[in-house]
Structure 1
C-alpha cells in the first residue's frame, strides 16, 4: 500500500486510495510504552467486516464526503482539522483553493496559516484568536474575521477544540468562509441606507407604512423628527388628525379615507401643528397601495416638510406678480423678444409709445420699428455687463403715425422655464430729453438776443477750422458798431436790442456762402470765413461786411444810421491758435476805431506784436490782482471850510518795469482781459479796509468813495458783494460812497433800482460820476437813485470864462439842491473855479487845487493835520 497518498478523514472512517481502489480503514492510536512523547498509530482494514458493513459504511461515507465537499465549494467554506497528539492535519480542497486565491503561505504542518496568511494589520488579531482558541474549553466555538494579505478578500474563521478526559487537546477543527462578497454587499447596503437617510434629512422627508387589516403602522425616524415626536410612532393621519390645521382637516380626512378604501394614489398638501413646539408647518404627503410579498395589501407613502419651499414659492409667486404688476403700470415701455429678436409681449406703455396695439407689435423686431434714417442694428451690444446686461445708445424709431421718437434701450438676456433664451428690453423715451439737451446746447452756443453763434461756438468752430491742413485760408473779422452806446443812452436798451437784431439779420442774409456771423457781446460781431480765397480775399470780404453794417435801420419810429469799425486777421503761421486769431482781429478793430468810424484795419505783424505785448501786460495785471500788487491813492473831497469830508480811491499799478501806471494805462487792458469785476472787488475791499482805520477830520468821520466800473446794481450778486465786504472790513455803512458813471444809471431796470434802494436803506450812498457827459436830460436827474451828483471836470474847467459851462454847472447845482442832493465839483484846479462854484452853491470840491491823489500813508498824515487851507485869491 502506498502510504504517501493523501489521507482524507471523514468522521471515524478514512480511506486509503491505492490506484483506483479505496480501502476503508480505522485509525487506532496509543502512547508508546517507553516514550510518552511518541504515538503509536495503527490502521485497521475494515474491508472484511461481516455483512458488508464496511462496504456499506464505505459507500455511505464516500457519498456523504462528496456531498460535503460540494456544499463547501458552493458556500465558499473550507474545513480543516488538526490533531496535536499525532501532528496530523486535514485541509479540505475548498480550503486549499481559498488559501491559494488569497495568496496565503502554506503552514509547515500542512494546515492553513492563520497568522502569516492574513493582512499585516490583522496578524495581531489572528494571533489572539489562536491563543484564545488553544486555551478555550472543550466544544466552545470561537470566530474571527480576517483580511487576506492583499486586503482584497475577507474571511470568517470559526474553530473549536476537542479535549480528552485529561483536558488535553485531542483535535482542533474549524472552517474558513470567504465573505468578501457578503461584506461588500453589506457595505453597499449601509452606504445606500446612509445616502437615503441623508437625502431624507436634507429634504425633510419621512416614510411610513400602514396595514389596513391590522392597523399596524411603521414610521421612519425622519418622519418622527418632521412631526416633532421624539419617540413612538407617527400613526395614521386619521389618528393624528387633531394636529392638522383645522382649516385643512376635512380635506385631509376625505383624502385619507379614499386612500384606505380604494387604494388610489393620493397627494395632498396641508398645514400641521408640530407636537414638540406647536409650530405650524406645511406638509406634503403621498400615499399609494402596494402588495406585500405575502400577498397582503399595504399602504405606503411619504410625508415631507415643505414649509420653506412653499414660503419660497409663495414669495416667488408674489414677486412675479409684483413684477408683472410693475411692468404693467410702469410708464416706461418694456418688451420681451425671442432669440430671433421678434417681439412676443409688451406692456401698455410700449404700445402707447409706438402707437400700435399689442397684436400689431408682435412679430416686429427693433429693425422694423426703426426710423428709415437709423442704421440697421439689432439688440446685440458691443460689451455686455453683469448678467448679460448692456445699454444701447439713443436710437431713432418711428411711431405708427409717422412721428419720430428717440429711445435709449436697456437690454438684458434671460432664460425661460423651458431653457429658451429671450431678450428683455426697456425702451426709455428720451425724445424730450434730447430736445431739451439740444435746446440747452443751442442756448450754450448761441446768443439769446440775435440767435447768432456766441463766443463758445466761435471757439469750437475756429478750433475745427484751424486744425485742418488748409488752415492758412481762415480769416476772422472783428466788428464793433460805432457809437452804439449813444443809441442805448438816448433811445434806451430796447432800441439798442432792436438794432442789434436787425444787423444780425443783415449779416445772415448778406454774407458769402460758408461764412459764419457770430455775436460776442454788446455791439461786437465776429465773422468767420473758412476759405478767404473763395470769397475774393480779405479786402473784398471786409468791404462786403462794412457795407452790410453801414446802413439805416428804423428803430422805435426813428431811422438810425450806423457803421462799424472792422479788424481783420489771418493766421500768421500754421501754429496760430483760435484765441490768437481772435485777439489779433480784436486789436486790428481797435486800430480801425482810432482812425475813425467805419474804418477797416488788417492785423499787421507790428499790430500782432503789440497785441502780444498787450496780452503779456494782461497776464501781469492778472497776477498783480491776485497777489495784491496794486495800490490805492486817495484824493480828498473837501467842504467849503477846508475840512475833508471824503476821499475818492484811485487805483495805481506799481509796474516792475514801467513804473507807476495810472488807470488810463491799465483799465483798457483790464477791460479786454475781462478783469474789471476783479479790479472792482479788489478796490472796494482795499479801500474800505484802509478807510476803517482813518482818523476823523475836524471832528467828523471821513467817508470813502469807490468807483465801480463792472460791478453794477444790475448784477444778481451786487447787494451781497457790497454788504459782505462792508461787514468784513468793519466800516460804518454811512461812510461808504459808491460812484457810478451817469450812463450806468440811465434807464435802470427795476431790479437795479431795488438793489440800490436796499443798500441805501442800510446807510450806503451813491454818487453819479461825470454827470453831464451822458446823453440824458437834466430832467432825468430826479429819477436817479443817488444822493450825490458830481459835476464833470469838462464843465468845471470853463466856469470862470465860458458862460455855457457856468450855466450847466449852475443848473446842475440848482436841481441837485431842489431835490435834496449834494453836489461835488470835480477837477477844481484854480481859486477862480473854487470861488465861482462856491458862489452857485456847490457843497464839496475835488481837485489839484487842494491835493492830488496821494498814497494811503500820506493821506492819513493829511487827515491828522486838520482842515486844508482854502485859497482866498482869484
Structure 2
C-alpha cells in the first residue's frame, strides 16, 4: 500500500479510501458497497479506479471488495484488495472480459430457460418446438442444464454433461440422478431437491468431484408446475464457481495473513483474542509478546533480503515451540505474538514455552549470504493477569512487559504484573 500510494504508514492509517478517489469513482464505489451490504447475491465486487496520489500524480488500480462476516452477530468489515495495474492491466483486462462474457451468457441462459418454461406450461402442443429451442440454447452453454422428473429421472440433459462427466445426453436421459451423479454430490443436494419438488425455487453451492477433480458447483433448481401448482419435476442449471470461490478465499487470506511469513497478522490475532475474551476468558492460558534484539543491524549489514529470510526463519522457530492449536502472529516488523489457550497450560508450562522460544531464537541462523546471531525480548501475560481486560488491553499489557525486558538488558522474559 505504501508503494502504490507513495505514502508512509502513518498518513495512510488516517486516510479514507474515498478521499483518494474523484467524485465519479467515489460514487461507483458507494454503489457497489451498498449492493454488497444489501446481499444481492454478489460476493466479490471488482472495479477499476484511478487513485489520486501526492504531487498531483495518479495511478490506475483494480479494487476487489467483499463483506467479511467476522463472527456471528457482527456487522462485518469491508475487505479491500488493491492491485497496481501497471504490470497486470492487460492480463486482468482479458480475464475480466472473459468473466463478463461468461456472466452475460449465464444470465441470458437463465432468462431463456425461464421463458422456455413458460412456453412449455402454456400448451402441450407446443412442447416439441420448445424442446428444439431449449436444446439449441442449452447445448451451447458452459453450464449443466437438465430437466428431471418427480421420480428423479433425467428427461433432458445438455451437451455440457459430456464435457464435465464424460456422458452423452443420450446416455443420461432416462436414468436416475443417483446413477449419473457422484454419490457425495447427490447426497449433498438431496435436501434442495426435496424442496424444489415441494414447489420451491432453490439455490445451492456445494463441493463435488468431476472426472476426478474437486470443484465447487452452484446450482439453481426451478420447479416445473402442473395446473394444480404441484411440482412434477424440476429444471436445473449448474455453474462451476471454483475459480470465484478460490478468489474469495485468496482475498480473505490476504486480509488476515502476513504476506512474508504466512502467519496471521495483527487483525487476525486480535480477532481470535477477542473471541477468547468474549467466551469469558477462561480458555486463555497466556500471551507472549516477542521482539527481536538487534534485528535492525541485520538489515543494515546484510540487506533487507537477508532480513526477510531471518523473519521467515524466526516465524518457523516460534511455531515449532507451541502446539498446533495456538496462534502465532506477526504484528509488524520484528514483532511476533503467541496466543496460548486451554486449561492444560498453567503458569509453569507457559514459562517453559517462553524459555523454549528464547532458546531457539538465540541459536545461529544460517542465511544464504551470512550467519546471523540474534536474541529476543519476551513479555509474558499469564492467565491470572488477564481477567476483565479487552483484547487490545491484553496486547498492550504484554507489549509493556516486553518493553521492560528490553530495558532490563534484552534476551530475557518479563512477566506482566497487575500493578504495571
Structure 2 residue 215 is matched with structure 1 residue 405: yes
SS of 1:605 mapped into structure 2: coil
Partner residue of 2:86? none
State the shift of 1:358 in Å: 2.9
Greater relative contact order (CA < 8 Å, ≥ 6 in sequence): 2
Structure 2 residue 140 is matched with structure 1 residue 326: no
Q: 1:375 to 1:590 in 2, by over 3 A?
A: farther
CA deviation vs aligned residue, 1:366-418 (integer Å, no higher than 9, x gap) = 6962464885441537977xx842212x112222x332222111110114799
State the shift of 1:451 in Å: 1.1
Mapping of 1:468-867 within 5 angstroms?
Answer: 468=279, 471=282, 473-531=284-342, 533-534=344-345, 536-571=348-383, 572=385, 574-607=387-420
The RMSD of aligned alpha carbons is 3.3
State the shift of 1:317 in Å: 8.5
Q: Which runs of 5+ in 1 are unaligned?
A: 1-311, 608-874
State the shift of 1:364 in Å: 3.6
Q: 1:438 to 1:477 in 2, by over 3 A?
A: same
Q: 1:604 to 1:389 in 2, by over 3 A?
A: same
Partner residue of 1:354? 165
Partner residue of 2:34? none
Report if the CA contact (8 A) 1:517-1:526 is conserved.
yes
Distance in 2, matches of 1:488 and 1:320, equals 70
Distance in 2, matches of 1:367 and 1:603, equals 64
Partner residue of 1:217? none
Distance in 1, matches of 2:332 and 2:186, equals 39
Q: 1:348 to 1:585 in 2, by over 3 A?
A: same
State the shift of 1:430 in Å: 1.5
SS of 2:192 mapped into structure 1: coil
Structure 2 residue 227 is matched with structure 1 residue 414: no
Distance in 2, matches of 1:596 and 1:548, equals 19
CA deviation vs aligned residue, 1:762-819 (integer Å, no higher than 9, x gap) = xxxxxxxxxxxxxxxxxxxxxxxxxxxxxxxxxxxxxxxxxxxxxxxxxxxxxxxxxx
Report if the CA contact (8 A) 2:208-2:214 is conserved.
yes
State the shift of 1:472 in Å: 5.1
Q: Which protein is richer in helix relative to its size?
A: 2
Q: Which runs of 5+ in 2 are unaligned?
A: 1-122
Mapping of 1:146-225 within 5 angstroms?
Answer: none
State the shift of 1:541 in Å: 1.9
State the shift of 1:316 in Å: 9.6
CA deviation vs aligned residue, 1:427-447 (integer Å, no higher than 9, x gap) = 111122222222222222221
State the shift of 1:355 in Å: 3.3
Report if the CA contact (8 A) 2:223-2:231 is conserved.
no
State the shift of 1:314 in Å: 12
Higher mean C-alpha deviation, range 436-445 or range 506-515: 506-515
Structure 2 residue 245 is matched with structure 1 residue 434: yes
Report if the CA contact (8 A) 1:374-1:396 is conserved.
no
State the shift of 1:500 in Å: 0.6
Mapping of 1:218-237 within 5 angstroms?
Answer: none
TM (norm. structure 1) is 0.31
Distance in 1, matches of 2:134 and 2:180, equals 28
Equivalent of 2:202, from 373, 385, 390?
390
Q: 1:573 to 1:517 in 2, by over 3 A?
A: closer
State the shift of 1:463 in Å: 2.9
Distance in 2, matches of 1:412 and 1:446, equals 40
CA deviation vs aligned residue, 1:61-105 (integer Å, no higher than 9, x gap) = xxxxxxxxxxxxxxxxxxxxxxxxxxxxxxxxxxxxxxxxxxxxx
State the shift of 1:601 in Å: 1.3
SS of 2:220 mapped into structure 1: strand
Mapping of 1:115-154 within 5 angstroms?
Answer: none
The alignment of Structure 1 onto Structure 2 pairs a total of residues equal to 292
Structure 2 residue 156 is matched with structure 1 residue 345: yes
Q: 1:373 to 1:534 in 2, by over 3 A?
A: farther
Q: 1:547 to 1:374 in 2, by over 3 A?
A: farther
SS of 1:587 mapped into structure 2: helix
Structure 2 residue 239 is matched with structure 1 residue 445: no
SS of 2:261 mapped into structure 1: coil
State the shift of 1:481 in Å: 0.9
Q: 1:359 to 1:510 in 2, by over 3 A?
A: farther
